[in-house]
Amino acid sequence: MKTIFLVDMQSFYASVEKARYPHLQHRPLVVSGDPKRRSGVILAACPLAKKSGIKNGERLWEAQQKCLDLVVVPPKMQDYITTSVEITAILEKYTDLVEPFSIDEQFMDVTGSEQLFGTPFEIAEKIQKEIWESTKVRARIGIGENKILAKMACDNFSKKNKSGIFWLKKDELSKTLWPLPVEKMFGVGGRMATHLRNMGVRTIGQLAAVPLKRLKDQWGINGQVLWMTAHGEDYSPVTTASHDGQKAIGHGMTLPRDYISLAEIRVVLLELCEEVCMRARKSGVMGQTVTISVSGASYEIRTGFHRQTTLYEPTNYTMDVFQAVERLFLKFWDQNPVRRLGVSLTKLCSDHELQLNLFDTGRDKKLDIGYVMDGIREKYGTTSLIRASSLTKAGQAFERAKKIGGHYK
């Protein structure tokens, strides 16, 4: 039997900020984007802030109404990434099987480490202690014989007990997991919870009692996954290769203001295509299917579209992708203001294999231009070489260069 950990950092962004500003240790603190740039959403709230009813994902102004002395700190993504990498290095002292699940969650397979470091509880306590001493971030650890049990142990029990550690054992599910509401099960969102409640399923235990055939008839393979999760079954191993074999490369951004004119929107679409193709070249791939996502400016009435087209041949050349994106945009845009844009490439293949084309003799040189531009940017900075349109007031290239993951470094 394996021993799997899910190590989760408590209020990760907020904890990093409190480690940076010790005088705020006993103040309610949230990490939030700048409301003046449409990003005033709570990214992380410390436990003190959560006691006031503040939740991740809600608007900053709503949080400030709940807690009048709330301390608001802007995100510093590079610091969070650096701390996450530091935590990964700590975990790798205990096993070579560490799999990142998100920036603040990581799976560990410590099955072969028990003879070196002690029982699972002892290993978990050592990890907590070392992470705290190194980063001043508190770790909560769920333990199980597979990844799904470790994840649900952490989410439903470790986060709520004093030690921050819980071992969810498969033969004890009837006493621990099954009495919980069905929406507490990993993989059950609001819509699925409604469907299950309409079936008379209120708890995870009731879901576990539903015949597998009924769930498969209702939801196919997803029904099988629901049944397996309720029974604590998961055959996926902890692997360091979980993020290999990328299936899509995309980039999107919320605009600093409503973009109304086609000329302004084209500038950002070109920048997004440049970013996507640059990332594709860095990964050594080309894509054949191009997708554009557009969100309208109104929060009350949802407008926008999500459309894709397949190119004649794979590419990672910016202008090829931009021309496809522009065609899609002109075809489906309703002339209403735009709040958010996104571009992605799928149906990826290696850039080392190229189908010869007798009618496009300059194709190799055209593709090579992108790699040359990337080399210049890598040596002198991402904004050392930009398109002239990015110098207009609609351009966002310089602003995006200051960010990681949509937030300032």
Mark the binding-site residues, compressed into ranges.
8, 104
CB 251, CB 279: distance < 8 Å: yes
Which residues on neighbouring strands pair with residue 253, listed in sequence order?
341
Catalytic residue among 58, 62, 92, 105: 105
Distance CA(94)–CA(88), nearest Å, equals 10
In the three-class reduction of DSSP (H, G, I as helix; E, B as strand; rest coil), residue 343 is classed as strand
Phi-psi sector, 201: left (phi>0), alpha (psi -120 to 50), beta? beta
Would you give the distance in Å from CA 125 to the centre of its chain? 28
**Class of residue 130 by CB neighbours under 10 A (exposed 0-12, middle 13-18, buried 19+):** middle
Report the candidate in 76, 90, 93, 105 with the shortest Cα–Cα distance to residue 9: 105
In our burial notation (b when 16+ CB lie closer than 10 A, e otherwise), range 207-238 reads bbebeeeebbeeeeeebebbbbbbbbebeeeb
φ, ψ at 301 (rounded to 5°): -110, 110
Distance CA(294)–CA(280), nearest Å, equals 21
CB 65, CB 52: distance < 8 Å: no
Annotated binding site for Mg(2+): 8, 104
Neighbours of 12 (CB within 10 A): 24
Active site annotation includes 105? yes
DSSP per-residue letters across 284-307:
TEEEEEEEEEEEES-SSS--EEEE
DSSP state of 93: T
First to last CA, the chain: 42
CB 252, CB 240: distance < 8 Å: no
Neighbours of 382 (CB within 10 A): 16
Report the candidate in 278, 117, 385 with the shortest Cα–Cα distance to residue 128: 117
Enzyme catalytic residues: 105
